[in-house]
Structure 1
Amino acid sequence: MQNTTSMASAPLIALVAGEDSGDQLGADLILALRRRYPDARFVGIGGARMLAQGFESWYDIRELSVMGFAEVLRHLPRLLRLRKDVTAQLLAARPDIVVGIDAPDFNLGVERKLKAAGLRTVHYVSPSVWAWREKRAEKIGQSADRVLCLFPMEPPIYQKHGVDARFVGHPLADRFPLVADRAAARDALGLPQDAPVLAVLPGSRPSEIDRLGTIFLDAAARVAASMPQVRIVVPAANPAVHARLTQLLSSFAVPGATAPLLVDGHSHEAMLAADTVLLASGTATLEAMLAKRPMVVGYRVAPTSYRIARALKMLKTDVYALPNILARACGLGNRLLAPEFMQDDCTADNLARATLDLLGDSERRGGIVAAFEYLHQALRGGLEGHAADHAAEAIAELIPSLPSEVTTR
């Protein structure tokens, strides 16, 4: 019996992840790649989940966790030094392939230099070219040999600019069932089955709670004042967010209403348990959509960041929440599935009125749920298996096979 094994079966694979979401993507990707390359070595920048899969992290992932123009500018010298150091290490290590996971402001610069030096590069999670300056797609192609896209409308944009891009499915679409179990989620959180439930998620970072927490909890208080039977659940993403929310909730007092339930984590359960979700714009809106929960979306960025984006006319869309963007891209028309209030429109009064409208209209909520079920299927794209497996396949195609082979009998 003959067994032929390519030396490429033990490649050196570099991953550079930013943010907690990138760490989760990286961990799932490592698992999928190990099924193809059991002896592969994974190095670069990652977090706790990637480390648990045997990843060798050269730097702390938290060094990349910076958002917004103003925030990035404040940390720019440190980020530039880090990018230079990471690039030098990767050039010295000469991995078989380099995968930048999200964090485009950091990763695309690294990838560009590595690609110019002859290394194979992949960018996993396309920047929002459908919202911010579509012409960036061509520049992204100068950094990445292949772009892995989470949304089905993204590859055609890259193709217009001659860039190799592949839709691999959205990992979150694998984590939510097509039919949600509201009763089980309410039992898990100790919420009654017969009361309206509102989940409130003002953000997952302390800076977001500082900017949005008071507005969102004020809106929730107004909802409770008009609908005393409503139960409010507020999941805290981490201890720092929990501490800030505890302080804000200490002044929450609505006669006749039940005090909000503050829980550690369990954001998915809170969404699944809710009739309506009031939340900050971002990935959480996609999670609420996959939980099939009608939502009201609000957000404010740092004023400097907002002024710069407006002055430079960087936005090419007039909607912000991902469910609304996906609905348009997937042919569901221009109506807003999720009412959204951005910047100066993000007020407690606006959020409360929109939330009460949704809570009081079961027929409208039913239509939104049906649309969200359709969009969930679209994010799977008819692909068999999990998104991480499709991403691993797209990456493996670019890992060079070495000419020499080891043959054993």
Structure 2
Amino acid sequence: MKYYIIAGEASGDLHGSNLMKALLKEDPKADIRFWGGDLMQTVGGSIVTHYKERSFMGFAEVIMNLKTILGFIKSCKKDIESFKPDVIVFIDNSGFNLRIAKWAKEEGYKTHYYISPQVWASRASRVKKIKRYVDAMYTILPFEKEFYDKHGYEVNFVGHPLIDAVSYRELVDEMAFRDSYKLSNKPIIALLPGSRKQEIKKMLDVMLSVVDDFTDYQFVIAGAPSQDFSFYQSIIQSRDIAFVDNKTYDLLSISFAALVTSGTATLETALFKVPQVVCYKASNISYQIAKRIVTLKFISLVNLIMDREVVTELIQGDLNTKRLKKELEAILNPEKREQLFLDYYELEKKLGGKGASENTAKLIYKAIS
């Protein structure tokens, strides 16, 4: 069978690579062509475009780069027509993927979606488009199935792929890791400022502003695979801060606490049982637009899944040196840490068992065979 997979960002690349491995187990002769990243390339198949070339954040940034995005959409359609896949599998990245899904469905292609767009967070009217243009939806968050049921659309809850990604990773030799990156023996506070340039610029400078107040800890920046060290260096400047490139899971596995930009990383940090403070700051235009259309009480996946505040969220104006210092001090407190650990274990139970990629691959293959 011929599979065309479209993923965006580092998380899409991770989940896309695991889905590809699972598809190849179900269908050893699978011919896979994809939009993704390095991890998907490692599995095999043929890459069309790397996600680094089309990483735009926020409403304002998308508008500024609209011509480029429309060019990608046009070339994607042409490439699909040339490849003639048996199924197109979309992974998250709704702004791009739903446009392709509409066209693909009208052209008669089978359309499957792995990792639902966050229609439960804003613009719920997009459910109508999904019902029209997506043949099968595979959701990874427990509350999504109930949400879609209310809109008369049957979906498959397959479990969360991060459970597998975290569970099956190789164990890290902490001493060797510290030696490799010239880290001290102090407890580590990981800084996860995001993956896109716009968010890294906004978040990292504030995160670094508290470093001098916690001299008993080693602060380490988790570099995203989509960015070069030279970009981080322009923000770090002369500060003596450790940097680890594309080793976020290894870093989290030995971290004592973390400052994390809102997104998938908040859930990853929780699964590694690392106490965290969630940070988020967008451009003023993007924030004002989002505030008017987002209907959620929380922004972090941890709090959304638990439906209560488990981790502190510092959003926009609240993300400042004074507040960040206070909240970081809180998660270094033994009593607060104990409660977080208990909440994290409850969170993991809610996410279901292992095998999200395998469950999805089986359902896709069965549907097109």
* TM-score between both structures, scaled by the size of structure 1: 0.82
Match of 1:12 in 2: 2
Q: Contact 2:202/2:281 (CA < 8 Å) preserved in 1? A: yes
Match of 2:221 in 1: 234
Q: Offset at 1:251? A: 4.1
Match of 1:374 in 2: 346
Match of 2:189 in 1: 198
Distance 2:8 2:246 in 1: 21
- State the SS of the aligned residue for 1:164: coil
Amino acid at match of 1:157: F
1:388 to 322, 345, 357: 357
Bigger mean CA offset, 140-149 vs 238-247: 238-247
Distance 1:89 1:248 in 2: 38
Task: Give runs of aligned pairs for residues 49-60 of structure 1, distance below 5 A.
Answer: 49-60=39-50
Amino acid at match of 1:264: D
Q: Contact 2:178/2:184 (CA < 8 Å) preserved in 1? A: no
- State the SS of the aligned residue for 1:153: helix
Match of 1:331 in 2: none
Relative to 1, partners in 2 of residues 1:281 and 1:146: Cα closer, same or farther, differing over 3 Å? Answer: same
1:315 aligns with 2:287: no
Distance 2:226 2:15 in 1: 22
Distance 2:88 2:64 in 1: 28
Relative to 1, partners in 2 of residues 1:36 and 1:341: Cα closer, same or farther, differing over 3 Å? Answer: same
Question: Deviations for 1:134-158, whole angstroms, at most 9, x for unmatched residues?
Answer: 3322322222111111111111211
Q: Offset at 1:166? A: 1.1
Match of 1:274 in 2: 255
Match of 1:345 in 2: 318
Identity %: 31
Distance 1:196 1:63 in 2: 36
Distance 1:185 1:357 in 2: 25
1:188 aligns with 2:177: yes
Amino acid at match of 1:393: K
Distance 1:59 1:250 in 2: 32
Relative to 1, partners in 2 of residues 1:92 and 1:250: Cα closer, same or farther, differing over 3 Å? Answer: closer
Q: Contact 1:64/1:103 (CA < 8 Å) preserved in 2? A: no
- State the SS of the aligned residue for 2:104: helix
Q: Offset at 1:240? A: 4.1
1:86 aligns with 2:65: no
Task: Give runs of aligned pairs for residues 141-220 of structure 1, distance below 5 A.
Answer: 141-177=131-167, 184-185=173-174, 188-190=177-179, 195-220=186-211
- State the SS of the aligned residue for 1:73: helix
* TM-score between both structures, scaled by the size of structure 2: 0.91
Question: Gaps spanning 5+ residues in structure 1: where?
Answer: 1-10, 253-258, 329-333, 402-409
Bigger mean CA offset, 145-154 vs 41-50: 41-50
Relative to 1, partners in 2 of residues 1:132 and 1:201: Cα closer, same or farther, differing over 3 Å? Answer: same
Amino acid at match of 1:231: Q
Bigger mean CA offset, 198-207 vs 243-252: 243-252
Amino acid at match of 2:219: I
Amino acid at match of 1:337: V
Distance 1:59 1:38 in 2: 24
Q: Offset at 1:65? A: 1.9
Q: Offset at 1:218? A: 0.2
Distance 2:128 2:339 in 1: 38
**Which structure has the larger Rg over C-alpha atoms?**
1
Q: Contact 2:56/2:196 (CA < 8 Å) preserved in 1? A: no
- State the SS of the aligned residue for 2:65: helix
Question: Gaps spanning 5+ residues in structure 2: where?
Answer: none
- State the SS of the aligned residue for 2:243: strand
1:354 to 309, 312, 327: 327
Amino acid at match of 1:221: D
Amino acid at match of 1:15: I
Distance 1:239 1:40 in 2: 28
Q: Offset at 1:231? A: 2.4
2:58 to 62, 68, 73: 68
Distance 1:314 1:205 in 2: 22
1:295 aligns with 2:276: yes
Amino acid at match of 1:305: S
Distance 1:63 1:238 in 2: 13
Alignment RMSD (CA, Å):
2.5
Q: Offset at 1:53? A: 2.8
Question: Deviations for 1:30-67, whole angstroms, at most 9, x for unmatched residues?
Answer: 21111121112112423333233331233343333222
Match of 2:129 in 1: 139
Relative to 1, partners in 2 of residues 1:140 and 1:220: Cα closer, same or farther, differing over 3 Å? Answer: farther
Distance 1:155 1:341 in 2: 29
Relative to 1, partners in 2 of residues 1:20 and 1:318: Cα closer, same or farther, differing over 3 Å? Answer: same
